[in-house]
Amino acid sequence: MSTALARVWTLVCALALAAGLALAGPAPAATAAVKTCSSSTAVGSRPTLRLGDTGSCVTVLQRALDAQGWIVNVDGVFNDTTDKAVRRFQASWQYVAIDGIVGPVTWDKLVNGGGTKYSVSRGPNRTSKVMLTFDDCPKSYSAFQTTVLAAERLGIRLALFPYGQCRDWGLISFSYARAHGHYVFNHSTTHADLTTLSYSEVLDELYGGPSGSYGRPPYGAYNLTVKNAFVSMSRRIWTWDLDTRDWTGLSQSTIVDYVVENAYAGSSVLMHMQHAAFNETALSQIKDGLAERGLSVCRNNGPVGIYPQTLDC
């Protein structure tokens, strides 16, 4: 990259950060270097690798990634394909930063394993609490505000996955929900099926939705292109492990009964803000019904941030 282009990229990054965005795509490889090691080199002695590096140690990295099925070319060049493979690998571990940098922590996980694997369906919930999650747009801003405040009074922390148009249409406020103790994560801009889009189109969809460290692809649909777009933004995919199918027009009582009877410790329950259970009565009944089974919902412990790594329940 030329000096002029590097300066332009630096300016763009600065403007993006000021606006609260995380630019996708590789940064200039200003510190690229030839890195040497072998597969017999002790993990703690291996050099840190990053985009632009070359050499035998990059080959060692690529062979280890390839052996574990992370789809990478073994050519000794830490290019964009290797960067994305590293990021996908990092995203598969709960407490590893998704930054594309292969330092001591990433080397250790790659060679030795051990620790907490990330579950796409359970998401960041490492507790025994049941996480009630709601996708899409509420019917009105009033309905949104009423339910958010009701959940707060009930001591319930929700995870909301609105798409960007919900905000644009005046149906939801991301900051208001967070201020009242509820997580807000990405669900795209227009609720498009991301698996039908190009990489750049997926990025456009993700940029237009809420910021955050987690996101839920519409319909729970993702492929390699979608995974790459998510990790380029240092974001993990979070789907669900209990689908209420409320979108089929089920009644409030049917949805409540289904959650109470089928949720288990650590569940991520899928519901939708525009359907029958997004209200105080349903939330209260779910909380009480789960309590009778010895289960608790995620507790509302006050305001939350945009980029949590695990859930505070």
What count of other Cβ atoms lies within 10 Å of the Cβ of residue 234? 17
HSE on the CB side for 96, CA within 13 Å? 28
Indicate if the pLDDT at residue 28 is higher than 50: no
Q: Which of 300, 293, 298, 299 is nearest to 264 (CA)?
A: 293
Model confidence, pTM: 0.88
Task: Give the mean model confidence (pLDDT) for residues 54-61.
Answer: 97
Instruction: Provide the pLDDT for residue 3.
Output: 34
Question: How far is Cα 145 from Cα 156, in angstroms, rounded to an integer?
Answer: 14
Indicate if the pLDDT at residue 19 is higher than 50: no
Query: Tell me: the pLDDT tens digits for 106-164?
Result: 999 999 998 889 999 999 998 999 999 999 999 999 999 999 999 999 999 999 999 99
Q: How far is CA 131 from CA 3, 44, 75, 250, 311, in A?
A: 48, 38, 43, 20, 9
Task: Give the mean model confidence (pLDDT) for residues 90-97.
Answer: 95
Query: Tell me: the pLDDT tens digits for 166-208?
Result: 999 999 999 999 999 999 999 999 999 999 999 999 999 999 9
Instruction: Provide the pLDDT for residue 115.
Output: 87
Task: Give the mean model confidence (pLDDT) for residues 43-48.
Answer: 95
Domains 31-112 and 131-292 share a fold: no
Helix, strand, or coil (residue 123): strand
Query: Tell me: the pLDDT tens digits for 234-292?
Result: 999 999 999 999 999 999 999 999 999 999 999 999 999 999 999 999 999 999 999 99
Instruction: Provide the pLDDT for residue 30.
Output: 55
What residue ranges do the domains of the chain occupy? 1-30, 31-112, 131-292
Instruction: Provide the pLDDT for residue 4.
Output: 40
Given a contact cutoff of 8 angstroms between Cβ atoms, the answer to whether 219 and 193 are in contact is yes
Indicate if the pLDDT at residue 44 is higher than 70: yes
Instruction: Provide the pLDDT for residue 45.
Output: 95
Domain 31-112 has CATH 1.10.101.10: yes
Domain 131-292 has CATH 3.40.50.720: no
Question: Containing H/E element for 232?
Answer: helix 224-232
